[in-house]
Structure formats: C-alpha cells, structure tokens
Amino acid sequence: MSFLSVLLIIGVVFLTGITIVLTRNLFFFRGLAQVPPVTGSHASIAVCIPARNEEKVIGRCLESALNQDYPNYMVYVLNDRSTDNTDEVVKSFRKKYPDKLTFIEGRGKPEGWLGKNWACQQLGEQALEEFILFIDADTWLEPDTLSKLTGAFAITGADFITVWPQQHLKTFSEKIVVPLVYYALLGLLPVQYLQRKPRWMPASIYNKYKHYFAAACGQFMAFRDHAYKSIGGHKQVSFEVVEDVNLARLIMKSGFKMRMYHGVNSVHCRMYEGAREMFNGFRKNFLAGFNDNILLFMLMGVLHFITFLLPAAVLIASFFTFIHWTVGIPALIGF
C-alpha cells in the first residue's frame, strides 16, 4: 500500500469520527429556545455589555436587551474608551430607559490585561445581581431570552451557561469562514461530555481532565454571581485571548457545573462584516485556540488538508493518469 493510500485512509478515519460526533451532537446539543421559561420567583439578572467603537451595532443590541419579557434585570454598558459615537448612542438609550440601563465609563487598562477582559472585569464588579450575563455589542436577543436563560439555570442547576448564537451571514467570505467555528464545535467536541463522564473513560481520569471538554462562546456567557466571584472573575484570564474557553475550564476545574446551548431563535449575532474585519478578528484567535501549541496547530492543519483537500486533488488527477484502486477507493470515499 502506498504512502498516498495511507494518508487517504487516515483522512477517511478522521472524517468518520467527525460524522459520529456530529450525529451525536444533533441529539444532545439543545437550543435555548426549547427551554421552558422559569415560573414563580424571578432571580435578578445583570446584562453586561462591553462596548468599544460599536456605534453601528450597539443600538440593536440595547433595543433587544431593554425589551425583555423578564421582570427583574438591569443592563450595564461599559464604554471602553471609544473614539466613535458609542457613548452618544448609549446615552440616548439611557434617557429612554433610566431605570433599566446603567452607563459606565471604563477606566484605563492596567498592565497585564487585554481590553475586553478588563472591560468585563469592571462590569462584573459593578453588577450586584444574582446572575451575571455577558454579551457582545454585536449580539441581540429575542424578547424571551432572559426567561429561557433562568429556566435553563433552574432546570439544570448549572453555575455557568454559554450559548452559541445563531450567526447571520451576508457576504461570501462570511459564509465560507464563520461556519467553520461551528464545525469545530459540533464536529470535534462531544457536547454530552460537558455533563457526564464518557462510558469508556475511567472516572479518575475524567475528573482530572474533564475541563478539557469545556468550550464557551464569549458572545453569550452567564454565571451565577457566587460562581463568577469564586473563580476570580475575568482577573484569572486577564491576558487570555480566548478568555471564554479559559473561563469555562476554570468553572469545571473549580467543581462548578456548566451547560451549553445553541442560540437558534433566541440569541443572534453578526460576528464580522466582510473579509477585512473577519481576518483581523480571527487571526489573533487561531493559535490561541490550540493553547499556543504550534506543533498541534500544524498537525491539525495537515490533518484537515488530508481529509478535505487531498481526496478531491487525487480524483481530479485520476482523469489524467491511472490511479490504483488502493488510492482511488479511499479518495472516492473521502470525497
């Protein structure tokens, strides 16, 4: 068997694994919109929004956050030293909703902090509610999202809930690249292992390494106040680029319970507008998503080339030359 055949078989095995994980996630990855809203007492919620140069999108975010059907919440917006008209937009909403919206001018960033993490830390310190929800300024909510969220906390007993928003894609480059984030989530991470031990894994190993199954989306992260403060808030991830994943890992390492939902029909986002924004946004996350492990990063790149590009290249080449069946069959299966 040739070296090329071995590579193609490796790709087929990897693709089979992705298919199995994705199929399982179709059954285990629930939507927040499917959760029944909480009844009876209504715990207080702080909706925290860090904003830096967000004048184009924060109006939609605030309009949705300030018109929830949930009775007991407060919206906090921190202006992270914006140089556009973000503060003016927020102040216009402050006049309209004086009892629901608190506006905070961010302090200067200390050494050893990334901007968003410092903004979130300030918001977390300001919030006094029982639950703290962080959302991005380019995110918007359905009117019943907070009701669904408190329902999810009540049903699961979770200390931390993250929701992966329904992404709205308009340009060609967005439609090509942004779904790959969800491919990595749904094709590579068995979601149910956030909640229980894999049957094939000894409990001692799972308890030691379960935090490596953690994932989170910084566009929507909700904590019980005591859990957030117990792990040290954003101070513990002050210089982490992928602070959302690291916060989720801290939650699980500290013995707290987390749950994850998708946001179809409940939480929406348009992450980037066009190729330039997307490139600038993703380039700082690529390597950090692999814990800055260059070897692992390169290995996954090679593996994806073998799985998704090599079969097509082999089949195209087969039109111009003879391909032995030990190469052609795995190439056809992989394609």
Task: Label residue 325 by pLDDT band (50, 70, 90).
Answer: very low
- Who's near 251: CB < 8 A, 6+ residues apart? 159, 160, 214, 223, 227, 231, 257, 258
Residue 76 pairs in a beta bridge with 48, 102
pLDDT over 90 (residue 78): yes
Torsional class of 112: left (φ above 0), alpha (ψ -120 to 50), beta (otherwise): left
Q: What does the alpha-carbon distance between residue 32 and residue 57 come to, in Å, rounded to a whole number? A: 23
For the entire predicted model, the pTM comes to 0.90
pLDDT over 90 (residue 265): yes
Helix H or strand E segment including 74: strand 73-79
Task: Label residue 1 by pLDDT band (50, 70, 90).
Answer: low
- The residue with tokens 């193609």 is 8
Residue 123 has a pLDDT of: 97
Q: Are 248 and 194 in contact (CB under 8 A)?
A: no
Averaged pLDDT for residues 192-204: 86
Tell me: the pLDDT tens digits for 32-56?
999 988 777 789 999 999 999 999 9
> Could you say which DSSP state residue 109 is in?
P
- The residue with tokens 């060609």 is 172
What type of residue is 36? P
pLDDT over 80 (residue 2): no
In 3D space, the residue among 183, 189, 126, 132 whose CA is nearest the CA of residue 162 turns out to be: 132
Q: What does the alpha-carbon distance between residue 335 and residue 333 come to, in Å, rounded to a whole number? A: 5
Q: What are phi and psi of 207, to 5 degrees?
A: -65, -30
Residue 324 has a pLDDT of: 55
Q: Are 145 and 73 in contact (CB under 8 A)?
A: no
Q: Are 95 and 60 in contact (CB under 8 A)?
A: no
Segment among 78-92, 186-200, 259-273 with least mean pLDDT: 186-200
What type of residue is 108? G
The string over 202-222, giving b where at least 16 C-beta atoms fall within 10 Å of a residue's C-beta and e elsewhere, is eeeeeeeebbebbbbbbbbbb
3 state SS of 246: helix
Q: Are 69 and 42 in contact (CB under 8 A)?
A: no
Q: Give 69: exposed, middle or buried? Use CB within 10 Å, 0-12, 13-18, 19+.
A: exposed
Q: What does the alpha-carbon distance between residue 317 and residue 139 come to, in Å, rounded to a whole number? A: 45
Q: What does the alpha-carbon distance between residue 60 and residue 83 come to, in Å, rounded to a whole number? A: 19
Residue 289 has a pLDDT of: 62
Maximum distance among all Cα pairs of the chain, rounded to whole angstroms? 74
